[in-house]
Structure 1
């Protein structure tokens, strides 16, 4: 390929920014980042925005390479045949390669009353709408947090630490990703903050009203504010564009993150489904996937065979208010192990992880190619084993259900 190569990256989250920054390694590549907001959303701090301890926003000038052109807007459709992105404002961008990194957001709750009375917080706009509601409510107002994944736990702890009457409704197990030892630590911290945790099969929410939450076992909980953190979905841009997706709507790719439909389209982050076996939705996975997607494009431009996906570093870190946290370690199959760090040290590790995410992006912006966590040995062999097991129809310990975590 001669002359300048135009690469459009759709989505300015952890994966998209990492990919855009890395693509500036070549002077003959023009990179355009399309994002609906003019600022970078630090999603792992959205629960802090709800609680009032952070705004969860970072200026793009701090994390995006100077050579990347930022277009504030939304993609309405991808014209793969014409190699173009049709924007919602009727504009269009041509591309030679496209990085699909549209991320994830709140899933449709599918529970009567939830859409009208519950507050999701998967996006900046949702968290910003909830913040004044929380601030205006008296401390005695009952708050129900639905969903006991990372977002639900962190939101419940953040509000309980402020002295609010919080009930965390798990709909199953508290912190399903966690090892039982870490789960007990989380439960102890929540209890110490005065939060009530309801877990077990009967705690599935079946209805939400303006002042209550009804559970499958018949209990009705008073709830002046209901926060909905149960489940994440992905934008339907790939579906609307006629591209192959999995059942959730993530773009189907091979192990180099290349679309199964078009070699000029690669995917990264929560919206990617490599070989139909997506990684756990998390910031931990998003940035390595962004780097891998960029490397796939750069390899093709250099006339080289792109490397296949490998991912071998896994963990989950939770803040439990400002004073405590849990850093849960995991094996190379992304299964939690007994080892975790809790309490004050866990909170400090969580804060270091949050700062490290933007730090990685900033470093990649200033020195493209410096990020290397996606190249840690071991991940490729694990993926091959998972794929063999999947093709053989055998369950594998390493297969993960989608669930957003830090």
Structure 2
């Protein structure tokens, strides 16, 4: 009997599940997914966990192909030379190919008092711990959300809609990705919810105390509950395992998503840095990158030349409470433009995106290879410019 080719996927988020499902296109491939949780986390709903409108959890049997073996554990080391990984619970798992899809999480804020007094929500466990803290605070207690990206905006709106007194500290621009027209729409909705938005100069947090947030402009904001959404980090597993990473710890790969160190290791999702020019962290990118990593493995198994990744974008969607939202349209190169859908239709479109992201995973489990995506030819221009800049600085 011919031995099956063992492909190991480390990480069961959007990228990892998509990769694992797509790999089942070949009957001679045995796929193992290692993840520290028994359930799939809808990370784009974590602000709803804090607000109490969703648990952000989906059973793996609803999104993972039945032939994929799920191992609930944490990988502590990758042995590239021996083609195996060490598990926290003990033992090892071998592989012929490994897809590194460990995702991202909270970063060290690097701000005095933040680690002690501010609550991150980059993971399910962090959001679950924060929920009772918010519930225990008096209804009129001031809540401060630090960080003006999608997570910060969504969390601020969710809590304000529930009647909380919320201040959103931007440390610069509200919604940096947004076009100015979309930004004005978001600001208007936050104002209608009673959110105090502190943006522009002087809004960088310099310290967090038990009951206040201090800004570099000299202002002190009263805060009973401080929520930290500014910045993300990635696990250091690749670096600890001796693999090449970028400055944030993402695995360095070529444009096929193959590690620059080892042809048997690939990366997908937030933890991938193809050509040291990573895509914007998002579930939109993660699912497509996961699919492409799987395609690269399948090409190698078939003795074919893997294709470079070509990924275009649609935009960014942000919920603004349960009754409003915004879908910010963008060019395929991920540059926001002046088109957006806001208000109630924006909320419906955001919910559609959340539901269909899970549906894409389920569809890939039933029919591997079904996911498609738009292309963007401008990435090659960026790579050529990056290469020319590198040559000029030598």
TM-score bin (small chain): over 0.9
The answer for the alignment partner of 1:271 in structure 2 is 271
| TM-score for both structures, normalised by structure 2 | 0.98
Per-residue deviation, 1:389: 1.0
SS in 1 for 2:277: coil
1:321 corresponds to 2:321: yes
Structure 2 distance, partners of 1:117, 1:281, is 26
User: Which of 370, 382, 388 is 1:386 aligned to?
Assistant: 382
Structure 2 distance, partners of 1:91, 1:14, is 26
Structure 1 distance, partners of 2:72, 2:59, is 13
Structure 2 distance, partners of 1:90, 1:163, is 47
1:98 corresponds to 2:98: yes
SS in 2 for 1:201: coil
How many residues are paired up? 389
8 Å contact from structure 2 (residues 23, 298) kept in 1:
yes
Per-residue deviation, 1:105: 0.3
SS in 1 for 2:174: coil
The answer for the alignment partner of 2:343 in structure 1 is 343
SS in 2 for 1:202: coil
SS in 1 for 2:247: coil
Runs of 4+, deviation exceeding 6 Å: none
| Residues 179-198 of structure 1 mapped to structure 2, 5 A cutoff | 179-198=179-198
8 Å contact from structure 2 (residues 186, 326) kept in 1:
yes
Per-residue deviation, 1:90: 2.0
| TM-score for both structures, normalised by structure 1 | 0.95
In the TM superposition, what whole-angstrom CA distance separates every residue of 1:128-156 from its partner, at most 9, and x where no partner exists?
00001111112100000000000000000
Structure 1 distance, partners of 2:332, 2:365, is 28
Unaligned runs of 5+ in 2: none
| Residues 3-402 of structure 1 mapped to structure 2, 5 A cutoff | 3-373=3-373, 376=374, 378-379=375-376, 381-393=377-389
Structure 2 distance, partners of 1:313, 1:269, is 14
8 Å contact from structure 2 (residues 313, 333) kept in 1:
no
Structure 2 distance, partners of 1:286, 1:314, is 14
The answer for the alignment partner of 1:403 in structure 2 is none
SS in 1 for 2:47: helix
8 Å contact from structure 2 (residues 253, 276) kept in 1:
yes
SS in 2 for 1:78: strand
In the TM superposition, what whole-angstrom CA distance separates every residue of 1:247-290 from its partner, at most 9, and x where no partner exists?
11000000000000000001000000000000001111000000
Per-residue deviation, 1:3: 2.7
Structure 2 distance, partners of 1:7, 1:248, is 26
Unaligned runs of 5+ in 1: 395-406
